[in-house]
Chain A
Amino acid sequence: MASPETFYEVMRRQGITRRSFLKFCSLTAAGLGLGPAYVDKIAHALETKPRVPVVWLHGLECTCCTESFIRSGHPLAKDAILSMISLDYDDTLMAAAGDQAEEILEQTIEKYDGQYILACEGNPPLNEDGMYCIQGGRPYLEKLKHMAHHCKAIISWGSCASWGCVQAARPNPTQAVPIHKVIHDKPIIKVPGCPPIAEVMTGVVTYMVAFDRLPELDRQGRPKMFYSQRLHDKCYRRPHFDAGQFVETFDDEGARKGYCLYKVGCRGPTTYNACSTLEWNDGLSWPVKSGHGCLGCAENDFWDKGSFYSAVPKLNVMGGVEADANKIGVVLAGAAAVGVAAHAAVSVASHMKGKQAEEASDE
């Protein structure tokens, strides 16, 4: 079971150099939108705090969240994350099986009641008393509720746990529902995406371990540091949108010139995620960069919003615009000075920020 070792000790034992460790800390700080001052804080926390016990449950899902997580771009990230947290139970990664595996759950509750983080990948089906997902001889819903009752906080990994995703798409025969529909008494952090970006996943966990608190969440329960901007706002093809230059079909002149993919269905204008800034596979590329529109996989009900290849009919704006000029001014000024909040505020300021966080005042 979990040892009192710190994350750093585990890393050192695995032969990871201090230089790599610090690099991981600074990459993570940058990914979280925190200034250089926070690198030391993260490093210090990881060196001194005992590892956080995590129980990782799988409901109805495809395991793409796990795949994304363990294949984080930075070579250290997978070691880092698997060392940082004491992953006491994860049926994809653990060696234990059968009764032995299920016993770990009870041991975790006994030893860490109210302290462990429950990471949920996938969601529970409610139809036929939950019979569409049976684990260890009982419905997943029961297991989820049992583990949630004793946990400290829940991370809803991916769009399944956050919104429902494909198994909850119409007509949803199994009545699959996202975690927040069945668990009401615990803090839930939604990290949507199908899957979420690896750096976002490691970033959220690192933040929780290093600062011993939940990241700031938006109205829908997503960490603001990663989900406060639409892909469209930071898209490198954005100037083509502004100039009215669109790809009309996938093999036309516009496609070759890298024009905006809005007319062929890109969901960038309505999708809140970090793809256009962090990109995927260690910053190598992302869907739009490879010539295909965003599917909007981090948004609620993205399967039920019509064809992936027809233009978004209505672009709604969240926050900001309905306010009058004075209020916008207030938000802008506040966000600029607070720094970290710049990434958070759903405001004109947050759309403009680059590295504002470096001005962050110490909290």
Chain B
Amino acid sequence: MQHTVVSKLTATFGRIASERMRGLPVTNDALQVEAVGFRPWDGRLVGVLIAPWFMNLVVLPGRDGEWDDLADGAKVTWELPSGEYELTVARVEPVGVYQSCALFSSVLDFRDQHMARSIAETVMQELFVKRDGARGETAPQRALPQERLSRRGFLRGERAR
């Protein structure tokens, strides 16, 4: 089931790429349509969709017709382990209604599919890193090294976290 829906999604966007989007200056010819890291979440499927003209976070419905009542373009807030994200209701045939959130609106600067894929994979990892009201507890560990201790902090006798 999971496999079927995702391959339907990629097939649909593959067709859009070769038909409606062909030759537009917004497309990056080094890229192709690919679904990255789709996994079940709360009864739905969450993953990243790469296309030559965008990279989006995509949520697919748990069953056919689940979101048919939602208006196109409506905003829905999703709570993932890393926080809340606002997605936009979208409809494309024959997939039906799904929800998406723009990660990159132009992908012209991606060198190749490998680069795009590795970023998509990173996004999926980060999305599911739990930050349950940690209020910054996770951030310091991940902060860039030079931000851990400023010179002023050092002179004041603060310690690196």
Contact = CB atoms under 8 A, between A and B. Distances in A.
B16 A348 contact: no
Interface stretch (B38-46, B104-112, B151-159): B104-112
A352 B101 contact: yes
A359 B133 contact: yes
A258 B26 CA distance: 20
B interface SS class: mixed
Interface residues of A, number: 49
A224 interface: no
Contact of A334 (B13, B74, B143): B143
Given A230-B105, A239-B90, A351-B104, A332 B131 contact: no
A361 B135 CA distance: 5
A311 B123 CA distance: 30
B129 interface: yes
A348 B123 contact: yes
A6 to B, nearest CB: 31
Contacts of B84: 353-356, 358
A219 interface: no
A296 to B, nearest CB: 14
A336 B131 contact: yes
Given A236-B88, A315-B108, A328-B119, A338 B139 contact: yes
A192 to B, nearest CB: 20
A182 interface: no
Contact of A315 (B16, B105, B110): B105
A62 interface: no
Interface in A282-332: 311, 313-317, 320-322, 324-326, 328-330, 332
Interface in B12-65: 13, 16-17, 19-21, 25-26, 51, 53-54, 56-57
A94 interface: no
Interface stretch (A84-92, A150-158, A202-210, A242-250): A242-250
A241 B115 CA distance: 23
A321 B109 contact: yes
A337 interface: yes
B138 A333 contact: yes
Interface string A231-259: 01110111101111110000000000010
Contacts of B107: 317, 321
19 contacts: A236-B88, A239-B100, A241-B54, A242-B13, A242-B51, A242-B54, A244-B17, A315-B106, A321-B109, A328-B122, A329-B126, A334-B139, A334-B144, A336-B83, A337-B131, A337-B135, A337-B138, A351-B103, A353-B86
Given A243-B90, A269-B26, 12 more contacts: A237-B73, A239-B90, A314-B108, A315-B25, A317-B108, A324-B118, A329-B125, A332-B122, A333-B139, A351-B104, A353-B84, A359-B135
Interface of A: 230, 232-234, 236-239, 241-246, 258, 262, 269, 311, 313-317, 320-322, 324-326, 328-330, 332-334, 336-338, 342, 348, 351-356, 358-359, 361
